[in-house]
């Protein structure tokens, strides 16, 4: 399949829906989990820090999690050409929804409006109290960690604090998932970008879009379980191929 053919689908569509995963942010310096340079691929113990059961029961896991939040690459990362292409698609008027598994906030930094971005796994830019539910900006708590509180507690109720992300073993927010799934079902063209499509239920957005008649385009370096359901699959680096597929910028010469 030629990029120009996908571009035609996008040009003709009024509702393009994208599902993005960690792979769209690797070119911004944020490693994915399951790619060749993935956090879990290189250090299987890192999985513990993302598991709510260990986090809630073990202060040492929480201290390690706060140390790793202090140096999270998201604080210095800038959106790359993949993020920028999706922001340009919104400006062009055809982005219906941008469902993301990412917690790094780079889509909003690229210029996508918060009401288009559906963060199914939450955001690392906020902190939530696991007892009273209070939400606060991450930098406030990171300042306390820097000042010596290794496992800071909620200032209101003393509860355990955590980044406002959905960890493994933690319930998803049903309204957010429903919004993502219904948006996928309204797509005319559905892109899955930089996701291994192994995390459910959100991987199910792709077959939901397909069942509702959308064209399916997968952009991912490694094979996914849904490649045989796609109308087109591209393995090139996202920052290189996505602007060409979406027809934004001057990246289309030679297609
Ligand atoms: P994943 O790690 O399971 O898969 C990422 C996929 O992207 C891999 O198959 C890899 O081959 C591909 N990829 C990586 N860089 C690429 C590039 N430049 N071009 C093309 N393909 C590329 O990611 P996932 O499916 O999003 O699942 C991981 C979970 O972990 C997510 O649910 C997310 O919540 C979380 N996570 C988020 C971030 C982030 O916010 N940036 C980073 C790591 C993990």
Q: Where are the alpha helices (DSSP H) in 23-158?
A: 39-42, 46-49, 52-57, 59-70, 81-92, 106-110, 138-146
Measured CA to CA, the distance from residue 85 to residue 243 in angstroms comes to: 5
pLDDT band at 246; cut points 50, 70, 90: very high
Q: Give pLDDT, residue 166.
A: 94
CATH class in words for 39-75+126-165: alpha beta
Q: Give pLDDT, residue 49.
A: 77
- Fold of the CATH domain 3-30+78-121+171-246: Rossmann fold (3.40.50)
What's the pTM?
Answer: 0.93
Ligand 1 atom having least distance to the Cα of 27: 18
Domain definitions of the chain by residue range: 3-30+78-121+171-246, 39-75+126-165
Contact between 241 and 219 (Cβ < 8 Å): yes
Q: Give pLDDT, residue 46.
A: 73
Contact between 245 and 219 (Cβ < 8 Å): yes
Q: Give pLDDT, residue 211.
A: 97
What confidence tens digit (pLDDT) does each residue in 51-83 have? 999 999 999 999 999 999 999 999 999 999 999
- 29, 30, 32, 234: which to mutate for ligand 1, most atoms within 8 A of CB? 32
**Ligand 1 centroid distance, CA of 157 (Å):** 35
The phi and psi torsions of 227 (rounded to 5 degrees) equal -60, -35
Q: Give pLDDT, residue 252.
A: 57
Q: Is there a common fold for 3-30+78-121+171-246 and 39-75+126-165?
A: no
- Which of 1-15, 34-48, 79-93, 103-117 shows the lowest mean pLDDT across its residues? 34-48
User: Does residue 228 register a pLDDT over 80?
Assistant: yes
Check if 96 is active-site: no
pLDDT band at 188; cut points 50, 70, 90: very high
Measured CA to CA, the distance from residue 181 to residue 172 in angstroms comes to: 13
What confidence tens digit (pLDDT) does each residue in 89-115 have? 999 999 999 999 999 999 999 999 999
- 106, 194, 200, 223: which to mutate for ligand 1, most atoms within 8 A of CB? 194
pLDDT band at 254; cut points 50, 70, 90: low
């Amino acid at each position: 399949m030629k990029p120009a053919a996908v571009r035609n689908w996008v040009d003709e569509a009024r509702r393009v829906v994208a599902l993005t995963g960690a792979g769209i942010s690797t070119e911004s310096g944020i490693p994915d989990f399951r790619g060749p340079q993935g956090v879990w691929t290189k250090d299987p113990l890192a999985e513990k820090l993302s598991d709510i059961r260990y986090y809630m029961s073990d202060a040492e896991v929480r201290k390690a999690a706060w140390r790793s939040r202090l140096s999270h690459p998201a604080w210095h990362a800038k959106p790359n050409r993949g993020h920028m292409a999706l922001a340009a698609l919104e400006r062009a008027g055809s982005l219906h929804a941008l469902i993301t598994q990412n917690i790094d906030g780079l889509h909003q930094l690229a210029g996508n409006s918060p009401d288009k971005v559906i963060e199914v796994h939450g955001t690392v830019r906020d902190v939530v109290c696991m007892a009273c539910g209070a939400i606060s900006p991450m930098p406030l708590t990171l300042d306390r960690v820097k000042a010596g509180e290794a496992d800071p507690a909620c200032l209101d109720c003393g509860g355990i604090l955590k980044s406002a992300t959905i960890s493994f073993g933690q319930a998803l927010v049903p309204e957010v998932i429903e919004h993502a799934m219904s948006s996928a079902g309204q797509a005319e063209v559905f892109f899955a970008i930089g996701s291994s499509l192994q995390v459910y239920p959100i991987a199910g957005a792709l077959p939901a879009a397909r069942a509702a008649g959308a064209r399916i385009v997968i952009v991912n370096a490694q094979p996914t379980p849904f490649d045989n359901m796609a109308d087109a699959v591209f393995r090139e680096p996202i920052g290189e191929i996505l602007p060409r597929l979406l027809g934004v910028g001057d990246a289309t010469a030679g297609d």
